Structure 1
Amino acid sequence: MHFLIFLGSVRDSTPPNPPRLGLRVARACADQIEHDGAHSAEIIDPLDYDLGGIFKPHFAYPASRVPDDLDALAQRIQAADGYVMISPEYNHSMSPALAHLLNHFGSSLFSYKPSAIVSYSAGQWGGTRAAVAMRTFLSELGCLPVSAMIQIPRARDVLDEAGNVSDEAEAADWAAYFDRTFQQLFWWADATRQHRQKVDPHSLARPFRRDPSQRNAPG
């Protein structure tokens, strides 16, 4: 199966140092997902996409005028079997950069697939409060998060630039900690993929594609 790892940071300068602590976390997640060769992972870095100065989601463009990179990402989202969402914590909530990126796409692309929540911090809490807030956001996207979450406090000390655990004595413990979450992700991704092949979920509940009135109650 193939998984997209969404990096929730656009910082590319100091301070803080290192400026892209989340990239270490994303690389660690990719390595863990791919370690036995059964699955593949792709890091989605918001710095690779020009989202423009004025917010306009993918589904709001006429079909002939959708920006190429935005459309390519929409296709990747639709084709993926599941998602890993990585976020630091801002004001007890998820990264604005991650929310901004994800908000460009409708729930019909993400829905009926699982997600995993991964948070991190330079301090001792590991982004726990952001992780809790992300559950509601991801549920609304339709990619319900698995119950096990990953929190990485003091991520700069735990992971090196390549995403490897810095202390070899702790490497096995961190691998087991990551694996608990990702095994849940793999199980649900396989289950939902098999069921989507039997029954098209969008034929049962029409996807949200046009405007907010599609969610209005009658009357």
Structure 2
Amino acid sequence: MKFLVFLGTIRDSTPPKPARLGARVAKACIACLNSYYPNHEIELVDVLDYPQDAVFKPHFAYPKGKAPSALDDLAEKIAAADGYILVSPEYNHSMSPALANLLNHFGSSLFSYKPSAIVTYSAGQWGGMRAAIGMRSFLSELGCLPVSAMIHIGKAQTVFNDDGTAQSDEERSSWFDYFNRTFAQLIWWAQATQTHRAEQDPHNIIADFKKDPAQRNAP
């Protein structure tokens, strides 16, 4: 199967230190996934690689063939993936606005009927867990329901090095075991949904909403 790891921070400066703390968390997640599940394809999607337009225009609002190539490519990756791992810092007790902005460029039909996993971190002790609570609702509305187990990494700068390695072998084993509580659930649900999608296309049961909003049934 294929999984996308979204790194949801664009802040690449100091202070605070270290810059791009989330990068080491994402690398650690990928290392854990490759260690436990070497037969699956894992790809990093870094929000910093995509322009944060001042005027928001979602991918599906462009005429066919007119969207920026980067958004076209990412839409194809999202549609082809079997699950998603979302790595986010916490801003004002909520998820990264840059991550929300990028995900909101795409309709839920690309994400839906697949699972997701929530990973949050912080330089402080709480590990971004308040952002994670809000991400549950966000991802559910996007259609990729999050698994019940979540990953929170407090004081991440003291846990992982720049390259995503743990600061000791003992810590690596402990953290990877903790990560895998979440990733094992993700893999299980991804396999289940992949199998069922192959048997019955969910989009044929509940049609994607592609009409003018005025045509939507009244609540």
Q: Same fold (TM over 0.5)?
A: yes
Q: Is the 8 A contact 1:117 1:145 kept in 2?
A: yes
- The alignment status of 1:27 with 2:49, answered yes or no, reads no
Gap runs ≥5 in structure 1: none
Partner of 1:155: 156
Cα deviation for residue 141 of structure 1 reads 0.3
Q: Structure 1 CA distance, aligned partners of 2:132 and 2:208?
A: 26
Partner of 2:54: 53
Which one-letter code corresponds to 2:20 in the other structure? R
Q: Structure 2 CA distance, aligned partners of 1:211 and 1:173?
A: 51
Which one-letter code corresponds to 1:64 in the other structure? G
Q: Is the 8 A contact 1:78 1:110 kept in 2?
A: yes
Partner of 1:191: 192
Partner of 2:140: 139
Q: Is the 8 A contact 1:87 1:98 kept in 2?
A: yes
Q: Structure 1 CA distance, aligned partners of 2:212 and 2:123?
A: 40
Q: What SS is found at the alignment partner of 2:146? A: coil
Gap runs ≥5 in structure 2: none
Aligned counterparts, 1:41-190, within 5 A: 41-190=42-191
Which one-letter code corresponds to 1:174 in the other structure? W
Equivalent pairs counted in the alignment come to 218
Q: Structure 1 CA distance, aligned partners of 2:51 and 2:13?
A: 18
Partner of 1:207: 208
Q: Structure 2 CA distance, aligned partners of 1:50 and 1:152?
A: 27
Q: Structure 2 CA distance, aligned partners of 1:80 and 1:159?
A: 27
Partner of 1:5: 5
So what's the TM-score if we normalise by structure 1? 0.95
Q: Structure 1 CA distance, aligned partners of 2:63 and 2:83?
A: 27
Q: Is the 8 A contact 2:6 2:85 kept in 1?
A: yes
So what's the TM-score if we normalise by structure 2? 0.95
Percentage identity across aligned positions?
60
Q: Is the 8 A contact 1:22 1:86 kept in 2?
A: yes
Which one-letter code corresponds to 2:100 in the other structure? A
Cα deviation for residue 19 of structure 1 reads 1.3
Cα deviation for residue 207 of structure 1 reads 1.3
- Residues 211, 178 of structure 1: CA spacing in aligned structure 2 closer, same or farther, 3 A cutoff? farther
Which one-letter code corresponds to 2:134 in the other structure? A
Q: Structure 2 CA distance, aligned partners of 1:27 and 1:180?
A: 18
Which one-letter code corresponds to 1:24 in the other structure? R
Q: Which range moves more in the overlay, 24-33 or 115-124?
A: 24-33
Q: What SS is found at the alignment partner of 1:91? A: coil
Which one-letter code corresponds to 1:11 in the other structure? R
Q: Structure 2 CA distance, aligned partners of 1:155 and 1:201?
A: 39
Q: What SS is found at the alignment partner of 2:73? A: helix
Q: What SS is found at the alignment partner of 1:65? A: coil
Q: Which range moves more in the overlay, 56-65 or 36-45?
A: 36-45
Q: Is the 8 A contact 2:52 2:98 kept in 1?
A: no
Q: Structure 1 CA distance, aligned partners of 2:210 and 2:2?
A: 25
Map Cα deviations across residues 85-133 of structure 1 (whole Å, 9 max, x no partner).
Answer: 1111111111101101100000000000000000000000000100011
Q: What SS is found at the alignment partner of 1:6? A: strand
Map Cα deviations across residues 12-48 of structure 1 (whole Å, 9 max, x no partner).
Answer: 1111111100011111111111114121211111111
